[in-house]
Structure 1
Amino acid sequence: MKNKGFTLIEILVSVGIIIFLTALFLSNYKSGQEQFALERSSYKLAQDIRKVQEMAMSMKEENCSPSGIVTGFGLYFDKSSSENDKYILFGECTGNKTRQPSDNNTEIFLEKGVKISEVKKNGGGGNKISIFFIPPDPIFYVDGNTGKNIEVILSNSLGESKTIKVNTIGMVEIE
C-alpha cells in the first residue's frame, strides 16, 4: 500500500525555503527603495533645471514685487544641514542674477532619505549655489557670474550618490 502525502521533513524543508526567500527579499527591499528614491530625485532635479531654462526661453510672465517684472528664472541650492533636503525654484525680481528672499520662491523637496551632499562651482566646493537663466537666450549665470560649471551631488543613507552637472552653456548631465 502506497502512502500518499508529505512527510514532516518535506514540509519543514519547504517552509524553511519559503522563509529564507522571504527574508532575502525583504532585506533588499529597503535598499532598493532608497536607490530608486535617489534616481528619481536626480532626474527630477535635472528636469527642474531644464524647466527653468524653458521658462527663461519662453519669457514666462510672472508677477513680481517690487519691480513687477521677472528678469529671469533660477534654482538655489543650500547644502547646510537644515536646508539640504530641498532646493528653491525662483523668479528673480531684483535684477542681481541671484536668489533673494523677496523673489518669487517655490521650495521643491527631495524624496525622503535623499540629501544635497555637495555643491561645486568650477570644481571647487561650497555650501550654497544659485544658478540663473536670463531670457530669451537663456544666458547661464552661477552666483551672478557667467562662464562657470556647477555640480550638485545628491546622496542617500546607503552612501550612494548621483552628480547633476550643468556646464557653461546650461547643458544638464546626470552621472
Structure 2
Amino acid sequence: MKLIIDNSGLPQNYGFTLIELLVTIGILVLVMGMIMLNFNFFQNQSALDATTQEIISALKLAKNKTLASENRTSFGVYFENDKYVIFEGDAYYSSSPNNDVRIINPSLKVSAVNLGGDRAVVFDRLSGTTADYGTIKIEQTSDSTKNKTIFIDSSGLIALAASLPDDLNRIKDSRHVEFAYDQNTQNAGTLSLFFPSAGITQDIDYQSYLNAGKTQFYWEGTINVSGADQKIKIHTLDLTSSDATFSVHRDRRYNTQALTINLDGQNLINYSATGTTTRGTSIWAGEPMIQ
C-alpha cells in the first residue's frame, strides 16, 4: 500500500501499488488452484467407487436373471474401455436390441479384462457358475495407480478387492490368499481355526473383531500347535450385507501345521502343512486366489 505525507504532515492512503495487487492476485490464484486440485481428486475417487459398485451390481443382476431363467436363457456382461453391456444369450452381439448399454464416467476406463481370453462373462443357467472367471480392472484415466479390481470366480461369486499394484512378475505363494464368500457374515458367530494333526481348535468370536459399521473384520493371532507357533491373520477386503471377500495371511515359511478355517460350521478354506490351499466345502465359498 502506498502512503504519501502531505503538507499537513499526515499520511494519505492512495490505495495498493501494482506490485501489491499482483502479489495478492497470485496468492488467490494459488489457493484456488489447490482447492480445485483437491476437489478433482475427491470427485474422481468418488466416481471410481460409484462406478465399481455399479459394475458389480450389473454382474450380479446378470447372474440373478440367469438363475431366475428369465426368458429361458443365460445372461452376461460385456466390457469395453468406455462402457459395459448386459446382454441375453450365450454370446454378446452388439446389434442385439435387448442389450442394456451403460456408459462409464469419462474420467474412468476399463483398463484390463482377464476373463479367459474374452471380454465377456456369461453365467450358466441353474447353477450361476461361469467358465469366464477372472478379473476386471477399472482405473482413473488421469492416474492409473488409482484403480479397483473386481474378481469373478468359477462358482459365479463376485467380489471387490482393494486396488492392487501391477506386480505380475512378483513370486507368489500361499502366504496371502483371497476368496469370496457369498453370504451375509455381518451376524456370524464363530470363526474356527482347526489344526487336524493336533486336534486343536481355536474359536474366535467373530462379532468382537468387526468394526462399528460391520463393514470390516480383522483378526490376527498366534496359536501354539504341538510346540510350534502358528501365526495367522484373517481380514475382509469387502464386507456387505450380502457377501464378503476374505484375505488370509499364513506365511508358510513359519507355519507348519495343516489348517481348516470354518465360519459357523461352513468350511471356507483349507491349508495343507506345506501351504497348499483348497477351496472350502461350503457351497458359498469361492476358489482361493493366491496373491
Say if 2:85 is the partner of 1:100. no
SS of match in other structure, 2:56: helix
Say if 2:83 is the partner of 1:89. no
Write 1 or 2 for the structure with the bigger share of strand. 2
Matching residue of 2:108: 114
| Moved >4 Å (runs of 4+) | 18-23
Q: CA deviation at 1:161?
A: 1.0
Q: CA deviation at 1:112?
A: 2.1
SS of match in other structure, 2:143: coil
SS of match in other structure, 1:90: strand
Alpha carbons 2:115, 2:121 under 8 Å: kept:
no
Q: CA deviation at 1:23?
A: 4.4
Alpha carbons 2:92, 2:120 under 8 Å: kept:
yes
Gaps of 5+ in 2: 1-23, 162-291
Identical-pair percentage = 22
Say if 2:143 is the partner of 1:158. yes
Q: Which amino acid aligns with 1:90?
A: F
Q: Which amino acid aligns with 1:99?
A: Y
- Counterpart of 1:74 (choices 50, 73, 76) is 76
Q: Which amino acid aligns with 2:148?
A: K
Say if 2:45 is the partner of 1:35. yes
Matching residue of 2:166: none
Q: CA deviation at 1:164?
A: 0.7
Gaps of 5+ in 1: 1-14, 62-69, 79-83, 143-148
- Counterpart of 2:125 (choices 135, 141, 144) is 135
State the Cα RMSD in Å: 2.5
- Which has the higher Rg, Structure 1 or Structure 2? 2
Which structure has more RCO (C-alpha within 8 Å, separation ≥ 6)? Answer: 1
